[in-house]
Structure 1
Amino acid sequence: MALTLPAHPDADHDEILRSGLLQELSHAVGGPFHFLRPDRFDANRAALRAVLDGAGVESRVYFAKKANKAAAFTERCADTGTGVDVASHGELREALGHGVRGEDLVVTGPAKADQLLRVAALQGALIAVDSPDELERVLCLETPRPPRILLRRRPPSQPESRFGLDDGQLDAALLRCAAAGDLVRMEGLSFHLSGYAVQPRTDLAGELVELCLKARMLGLQADRISIGGGLAVDYTAATHWQAFLTAQGPDDYHARKSFATADFYPYHSPVAGADALRAVLTARPHGRGATLAARLREAGVLLLLEPGRALLDGAGSSVFRVQGVKDRAGYGIVTVDGTSLSLSEQWFNSEYLPDPVLLTEGRTGTGEPDADDPAYRACVGGASCLDSDLLSWRKIAFPRRPRVGDLIVYPNTAGYQMDSNESPFHDLPLPPKVVVQHSDGRLRWRFDRRPTR
């Protein structure tokens, strides 16, 4: 039996696939492309906002811009007053250029360049200070107003993390900020925590609330904490995910490639998105006392969060055109007009697993098989000269043998997949992003930016 992992049903996404628009865009673009759905971004943001408001927690949401470079999502942040998390001078410039106010930015990342620190301070952005020397560089900035900072704590549960200050460095940094007086506004604390487990995030957030109270005793503002992102996205049903993990093995992949299941993203999560945020807020730090939401309210601490993937759930997909098909013993190799650099999971010793959809060339629909057109298993390779350039090592269960000109659509790729590793290798152009929206009862589209050729 062919190994499958169907994505959750999405009626609006299916409508786009049936409309014939993607075939027209493929013809116009002349190569692979990504299509974006800002309406889903707005819906995800509204769901997070509803949880925060329902918990009675004063809060700010910052979109982690590294998750997708598209201007459309940054523009939605500007229009709705949503903050943006940036980690480079280029990301900061892009956010400002698309209308996000400086005071609505939080600047993260390790060992920030002096130029980034200076511009962030001038624009009134909040800077997550990651090390003692970075704090000293911030204190040496000569800007009209004092820089706004958070002190980033290294998670005690992840001592090997390269991010943040250990307990001794944090104590010294608090004293340094208190001694600096009006040279800096120490507004609170933050952390970067790997993984998607709820309780560790609640535990560390509860500790940061207590550290804020300690910092106030030193005369510091310390009225906010950032818990970062780490809200899982649920791509597929639990039964499909468990069946996949149980059944998958080397025979399901080209060249009998093997993957450690621990390296796969958890494509099913029983608690995801807004529900995960609710779980973080309603859990009790270290299982004791009041809930995190109650502690935040009692201490007068503002909650900041920086989701990326969770805001982009369902907000875009990636489209590739079939350039050739060759048969092997028991399966085929499909080559498409792009590379796996545009589907980033494959470049982290892993695989993007939700099943792609085959669109038949020359007609709408999703490639349903004819009675005399049997199902066909095939891996999907890129157009480069690298033997390792595969978008799907897995032998995908296509409803029929793909044909030259067909489209293969990978669903729900907006979160980190589209451009984390894109490269104009072989002088191939970067796939453009196309914004697709309903307007006046029909689908309308526009380029997110001028296509790069």
Structure 2
Amino acid sequence: MTNLPSMTPITSLWMHELMEEKTVLNELLEKYGSPINIHQVDPMEINFTSYRNVFEEFELKHKIFFARKANKTKGAVQKAHSLGMGIDTASLREYTQCLEMGIEASDLIVTAAVKNRKLIEKAVHHGSLLILDNEDECDLVQTVAEEQNKKAAIGFRISGFFLNEKKLYSRFGFDLLEIDDFITKNFIESSRYTLLDYKGLHFHINGYSIEERRFALAQCLAFSQLLSKKGLKTEFIDIGGGILMNYLKNESDWDYFNQQLRKSVGKKTSEITYENQGLGLETMGGIMHGELKTYPFWSPVTKGDFLREILSHKPHSSDSLGEIAKKLQLEIRMEPGRSMLDQVGLTVARVAFRKVDSKGNRLVGLEMNMTQMLSGSADFLVDPFVLYQKEEAEEDAVEVYFTGAYCLERDILLKRKIALPKLPQVDDLVVFVNTAGYMMHFFESSAHLFPLATNLIWNRTTENGKINSAHFQNDENL
């Protein structure tokens, strides 16, 4: 019937157990409104172990920090802390809440893109590590440390790494070619920053390239040796996040989607996205330009294997990057966010209406908006599940777009057209799986005074083998 690609997601048993309980889901939606985000945090242990095992394989001193900005629930933070992880915080509220939850300041780091005085005052007072991005931050931290009469633990964020003679751009961090002079002049040859206690180096590479991370780590290792010769000891190198995970069961789904998208954008077949959006691709003069600007939803190398590919790289000698770090007695740190939340959450929304637009597209409106399932990716390329409330006589298969509640033409929840066995009815439920990493919260807004989605934590406790709505706790009450 259709050239539409299927994008079958990897799912966990708990997701299917829950989707079998339509009565429970209806009760939760009735109580909390649509949409709701449901979290089951046990899979975080599997994700954490994937990284820990690789560090142990290399016999490396290490510390893994959960990048909290990927998901704002306290439940995810509690689970990460119970596993022995640190927490990477990106705002005053994130940092303060972690302290209020009883997490030791030594297990918290502050990597916020903008660190206001209140955040710095609190971090210095409690003794948490601050990752500094620029000279103005150094000045402010030094001032606060003088006011509190105590040292501030700091690391430097580095950028401007070289890959095959090409410089990698980032708006964040100190430039690799300038940081040496800055540290030498202000930390070694002068007393300008006497209360900034240097601990280590940090980088975060945009995108998901293993090769770029190898080169960044190699250059940080070399720089740490240069600093050591000048009398400044580096205790750690933090390789940040952006470690790939896998959303899709089949590589063939991913390949077919890419093929069909190019054909549709090139007008060689019918559209597979809303208004034939190329998601980064476009044709000019019959030639395809650009590149797909979505997350790579299928990847052959993920999580611990991704980390191993970085650490096992041998840049110039017989020693791998991991072996060099071990010889230098450096701690390697990392800050996974999305990949730590693989299989941890799903989003459930209720169908509000169905219609056919002026182009003949079937639109299914949901009681949610595009910011409640949005990251930096141009689209969320994962098939949803439709839970039909009534089992009616067999109907014709349909192709639909799911639309949201904002008064914007572009509030299309999935830009990809979705093939369904039959048309959803009003009050049917649509479930988007594996949304805990960035999709739920990163851009969530409350325009039109719509409330933010309630975040529920499910501990999978059952009574007589049955799931009850009382087993779901509002994360705000943790």
Tell me if 1:399 matches 2:430. Answer: no
Match of 2:367 among 332, 337, 341: 337
Amino acid at match of 1:448: D
Tell me if 1:279 matches 2:309. Answer: yes
Q: Which residue number in structure 2 is paired with residue 42 of structure 1?
A: 45
TM-score by length of 2: 0.87
Stretch moving more, 55-64 or 390-399: 390-399
Cα deviation 1:377-426 (Å, max 9, x = unaligned)? 10001122221111012221112100001111111111111011111111
Amino acid at match of 1:14: H
Aligned partners of 1:196 and 1:231 also within 8 Å: yes
Q: In structure 1, the residue corresponding to 2:476 is in which secondary structure?
A: coil
Q: Which residue number in structure 2 is paired with residue 177 of structure 1?
A: 187
Q: In structure 2, the residue corresponding to 1:139 is in which secondary structure?
A: helix
Aligned partners of 1:337 and 1:382 also within 8 Å: yes
Which aligned pairs between 1:231-310 and structure 2 lie closer than 5 A? 231-236=243-248, 237-248=250-261, 249-250=264-265, 251-260=271-280, 261-285=291-315, 288-310=317-339
Distance across 2 between alignment mates of 1:272 and 1:442: 35
Tell me if 1:154 matches 2:159. Answer: yes
Structure 2: any 5+ residue segments left out of the alignment? 266-270, 281-290
What's the Cα RMSD here? 2.1
Once the two structures are TM-superposed, the CA of residue 159 in structure 1 deviates from its matched residue by 4.5
Distance across 1 between alignment mates of 2:26 and 2:103: 34
Which aligned pairs between 1:36-115 and structure 2 lie closer than 5 A? 36-115=39-118
Match of 1:199 among 208, 211, 218: 211
Aligned partners of 1:155 and 1:191 also within 8 Å: no
Stretch moving more, 80-89 or 316-325: 80-89
Distance across 2 between alignment mates of 1:427 and 1:379: 25
Once the two structures are TM-superposed, the CA of residue 64 in structure 1 deviates from its matched residue by 0.8
Match of 1:190 among 166, 187, 202: 202
Amino acid at match of 2:275: A
Once the two structures are TM-superposed, the CA of residue 133 in structure 1 deviates from its matched residue by 2.3
Once the two structures are TM-superposed, the CA of residue 136 in structure 1 deviates from its matched residue by 2.4
Aligned partners of 1:199 and 1:283 also within 8 Å: no
Aligned partners of 2:160 and 2:176 also within 8 Å: no
Stretch moving more, 205-214 or 239-248: 205-214
Q: Which residue number in structure 2 is paired with residue 367 of structure 1?
A: none
Stretch moving more, 415-424 or 320-329: 320-329
Q: 1:160 to 1:54 in 2, by over 3 A?
A: closer
Tell me if 1:423 matches 2:445. Answer: yes
Amino acid at match of 1:413: T
Amino acid at match of 2:254: W
Aligned partners of 2:365 and 2:404 also within 8 Å: yes
Once the two structures are TM-superposed, the CA of residue 77 in structure 1 deviates from its matched residue by 2.7
Q: Which residue number in structure 1 is paired with residue 286 of structure 2?
A: none
Match of 1:383 among 381, 405, 408: 405
Once the two structures are TM-superposed, the CA of residue 215 in structure 1 deviates from its matched residue by 1.6
Q: Which residue number in structure 1 is paired with residue 384 of structure 2?
A: 356
Amino acid at match of 2:323: A
Q: In structure 2, the residue corresponding to 1:379 is in which secondary structure?
A: strand
Aligned partners of 1:185 and 1:221 also within 8 Å: no
Once the two structures are TM-superposed, the CA of residue 170 in structure 1 deviates from its matched residue by 0.8
Aligned partners of 2:251 and 2:298 also within 8 Å: yes
Percent identical residues: 28
Cα deviation 1:422-452 (Å, max 9, x = unaligned)? 111112111101111222555432111159x
Q: Which residue number in structure 1 is paired with residue 19 of structure 2?
A: 17
Q: 1:448 to 1:111 in 2, by over 3 A?
A: closer
Q: In structure 2, the residue corresponding to 1:283 is in which secondary structure?
A: coil
Once the two structures are TM-superposed, the CA of residue 28 in structure 1 deviates from its matched residue by 2.1
Stretch moving more, 229-238 or 297-306: 229-238
Distance across 1 between alignment mates of 2:390 and 2:446: 29
TM-score by length of 1: 0.92
